[in-house]
Amino acid sequence: MNKYELKYMFEQETLKVENLIDVVGKNAHHIQDLSAELKKKDENIDKLIARLNDKREEVYKLKNIIQSQTQKNLREYHLGEESVDN
């Protein structure tokens, strides 16, 4: 190979390296954007989990109220009591 062919090959390889550097840079920005989006979604998931836990507690309390009221009603029905204190 003569020096012109070597120079041409060098320029081609340099261009390939520059293109790869551009691709890596674009990928890095894309990864940062995805990471920020994931953080937002994680925060939203945490809020929803907290809300779900609050609702579970509320359901548990309501189940207890329903159960105690049902037991009270059954005692009144079976025993014929006019009123039963909870």
Domain coordinates in residue numbering, the chain: 46-86
Task: Give residues with Cβ within 8 angstroms of 68, minimum separation 6.
Answer: 86
Each residue's pLDDT, cut to its tens digit, for the chain (86 residues) gives: 899 999 999 999 999 999 999 999 999 999 999 999 999 999 999 999 999 999 999 999 999 999 999 998 888 888 765 555 55
pTM for the whole thing? 0.60
Q: Which two tokens stand for residue 57?
A: 């507690």
- Which residues 6+ apart lie within 8 Å of 1 measured at CB? 9
Q: Which of 76, 67, 72 is nearest to 86 (CA)?
A: 72
State pLDDT tens for residues 56-79: 999 999 999 999 999 988 888 887
